Amino acid sequence: MQAVLLNFKLALEGILQNKLRSVLTALGIIFGVAAVIAMLGIGTGAKQSIIDQLSLIGANSIVVSAKMPDPASVDEESEEDDGAPNTDPEAQKGYTPGLSLQDMDALRKIMPTTDKISPEIVQNMTVIQGKTSQRARCVGITNDFFAINNLEVSEGQYFHDNHFVDGSNVCIIGTALATRLFKGVNPLGKRIKCGQAWFRVIGMLKPRRIQKSKIEELSIRDYNDDVYIPISSFLLRINDRKRIDESDVVQGRRDRRNDQVQNYHQIDRAVIRISEPRYVEPSAELISRILKRRHHDKIDFEIEVPELLLKQQQQTQETLNFVLAVIAGISLLVGGIGIMNIMLASVLERIKEIGIRRSLGAKRSDVILQFLFEAVAISLIGGLIGVVLGIVAARVIASSADIPTMITWWSIVISFVVSAGIGLIFGLLPARRAANLDPITALRTD
């Protein structure tokens, strides 16, 4: 043990005697380790971000959204003076009932792979409580909405089946909206006015923190700012676009004069959760065919598979991580070659020192340990600096480019292990060359 400690001390003295050379030797290791740390931080952060996004949209989900056709593509319908409907089959070719609850019932009956279906009706309106009013979204939903989007009620209760049967005037509100409307007062049991209808608050959602960038990227809403109403109550008390009255007829004529198309969809979108991941893509194709047939070959809907989009994003990120890993590996390789070159030069400069040590009784193993310790020490010091530099670089990249990063303890351990391994591998050849020098020849060297 004393011999090992002595060799380690001599290695440190050799490093300190040539500080500038040691720093330059360690630069390759520094930048290589920094690249590894930054790359692993970005890769881990991106992976965690995708997992978080999946928790927001729900796994194995298909999103069907209502789409309004281009006014230029809508055929002009002839109007009878007496208001009688046009029964001409040619005139009915352009008719589509729009996205409706009946479509969701048909999908539920036809598709065996369906787990849950969450139809939604979204309408912006003024929400009033006492003397406070706020613009908010009122969303007509079923209880499947909470399960698909992984939302929980922090206070109160979910909707009961009777709420949907009776069209009850009850609602659940988001935390952020509750804070603005009630200002520290418990909202449970209180009444709020959405448009022209009053609703009693029976629950409040558990707050969920969502980055603004994720809201825009995934086309989701901020669940904390919405009022949730049973979809049957929404259709009964607020708006049912399938229900036609005299005002709708007048508005329809006005829209045609202005080359506009009135929103005829009963629901705005639906999220369909499939039972198993392998059925997601075939189910999306089947949904498209079913809806197209029900809408008389009119494609007035859009189908998205968020999970597939996220997987494509993950594949792109993995490709980028692979490129970064190759660059980091090249940097470490260059750093290792630099260590070997400098150590070989150091052996040539210190031939006489090696000869004196050998003549005083040092063994070949002592000389090998001395130069190995020196190479490993340079590598570890470079690795330590590289870890700090990599963490700083990851933070700078995260703040400037809005890329999520996550530094883990195992990435730091890997960096140190790689640094020590490079020192051992690339320091072994110079150490063996120094140990194999003939002491008599070494002493004769000037």
Max distance between CA atoms of the chain, in angstroms, equals 122
Q: What are phi and psi of 428, to 5 degrees?
A: -70, -45
Structure tokens, 404: 């999520």
Q: Both tokens of residue 432?
A: 């063996």
Q: Please check whether residue 422 is in contact with residue 63, taking contact to mean a CB–CB distance below 8 angstroms.
A: no
| Pairs from 101-106 (Cβ < 8 Å, separation ≥ 24) | 101/231, 101/266, 101/267, 103/270, 103/290, 103/291, 103/294, 104/267, 104/270, 106/290, 106/294
Q: How is residue 207 written in tokens? A: 């707050």
Per-residue pLDDT of the chain (446 residues; tens, 9 = 90+): 666 666 667 666 666 677 777 777 777 778 878 877 887 787 777 666 666 666 556 667 888 999 886 655 545 443 443 444 444 443 445 678 889 999 999 999 999 888 889 999 999 999 999 888 899 999 999 999 988 888 889 889 999 988 888 889 999 999 989 999 988 889 999 999 998 899 999 999 988 766 555 554 555 567 888 999 999 999 999 988 877 655 554 455 455 555 556 788 999 999 998 888 788 888 989 999 999 999 988 888 998 887 666 666 666 667 777 777 777 777 777 777 777 777 777 766 666 676 776 666 677 777 777 777 777 787 788 888 888 888 888 888 777 766 677 777 777 787 777 777 777 777 777 667 766 766 666 566 55
Q: Which of 38, 362, 58 is nearest to 220 (CA)?
A: 58
* DSSP secondary structure letters along 80-125: -TT------TTGGGG----S-HHHHHHHHHH-TTEEEEEEEEEEEE
Are 96 and 292 within 8 A, CB to CB?
A: no
Closest CA to 253 of 242, 243, 244: 244
